[in-house]
Amino acid sequence: MTETTLTGLRAQLHALPKVDLHRHLEGSLRLKTLSEIAQEHGIDLPSYDIEYLRRFATVVTDDRPDFHLFLAKFTFLRRFYPTRAAVEQVAYEAVADAAADNIKYLELRFNPVALSRYQEFTFDEVTSWVCDAVAQSQRDHAITSYLILQIGRDESLDIATQITEVALAHQANGVVGLDLAGDEASYPARRFADIFQRARREGLGITVHAGEAGGAQNVREAVELLGAQRIGHGVRSIENSDVIHLVRSNGITLEVCPTSNLQTAVVRRFWQHPLADLLALNLRVTINTDDPSVSDTTLTDEYMTAMLAMGVTLEQIKHTILNGVAGSFQPADKRRELAQWFRKELQLHG
C-alpha cells in the first residue's frame, strides 16, 4: 500500500464508531500525567522526563516479548495513585482518550488493590472515586462507559471477596462486571469459582483472562467453573476443538487484543495470530486495546493491524464491533438500543 492509501485507511478506521470491552485503567495512563503526578507528590524517580518514564511504563521496541516482563510494567505504574485527585485524573483521562479514538462504548476495568495499596485507601474509596470520574468524563466526551472490577489470580480469597462486595455495592454507580486477571499459568482460576458464581447470580457480568499465557483448558475452566460469559484474550481456544465448540455453543465473547498478544509472546508474529481463524469459526470475537499506554496503541491501530497483518476485512471489523455490543455487560434494554444505533452507523443489517 502507498502512504496515501494507508493514511486513507487509518482515517476510515478512526471514523468508525467503536466498542472496547477490554481496557485496563492501570494500562491507560498518559506519560505526561505520570510525570506531573511524580513531580507534584515527590515520587522518587531518577528522572521525570517523559522519555525516561516511557521505558518503565511502555513496551518499547527493544523489549523482548515476554508475559512476565509485560506484567512488570504494572508494578511501576502502581506508584502513581498517591491521592484521590490523582486517581480521579487518570480515570477521567482514560475515558477521554478512548473517546478521542471514536470509541462510543467502553468497559474500563481496574484493580482496586492497585489503586489503593500504596496509600492504604479502602477499596470502596478508590472505586467511588473512579466511578465519579468516569461518570463525569463520559458526560464531557460523548461516550458511554461502564466499569469492571478486577481480581488478581494471586490474591487471597479474602481480598477477592472484598473486591466482589465492593463491585456489588457499586452496581448503581456503573459497575457491571467482575474480572479475574494475572498469571494464569501459575495461579489456577478454580479456587475463585464460588466467588464468581455468586457475583453472576447477583447481577454482575463475568469475564476471565484465560487462554493467553495458559492453554485452552483454562478457557474451559473459566466457563464451566466460574460462569464466564466473556474471556479476556482466549486466543489459545484455537488449540482445542472441544473448547471452540464450548465457546461457540455458549455464546461466549472473546476479548482479543492483538498487539498485547504479540508483546506477551502469546504469538511470535502478527501473521501467526489466530484472529482470522477465530472469526472464520463463527465465534463472537471482539477486538480491543488491553493497555493502550503500555502497548502504545489505540483501537484504530488494532484495526489497522488486523487488516494489514492478519487478513481481516473491513466488514469483519464492523461485525466485531457489533459483537462487542452483543457481549457488553450493560443492561439489556440499553444493549438492544445501542446495537440498533451501531447497525445504522456501520450500515449493517440483520
Q: Is 212 a catalytic residue?
A: yes
CA-based nearest residue to 310, from 251, 258, 241, 256? 258
Contacts of 257 (CB under 8 A, 6+ apart): 22, 233, 287, 288, 289, 290, 302
Residues written for the chain: 350
Name residue, grid cell 464508531.
17
The side-by-side arrangement of strands in the sheet containing 230-233 is 18-24, 103-110, 144-152, 175-181, 205-210, 230-233, 253-256, 284-287
Catalytic hit among 212, 221, 255, 302: 212
Name residue, grid cell 457499586.
170
Residue 89 region by backbone torsions, left for phi larger than 0, else alpha for psi between -120 and 50, else beta: alpha
DSSP 184: T
CA distance 342 to 206: 24
Cα dihedral 305, 327, 21, 154 in deg (nearest 10): -110
- 293 neighbors 27 (Cβ within 8 angstroms): yes
Which cell numbers hold the place of 347? 450500515
Catalytic (active-site) positions: 212
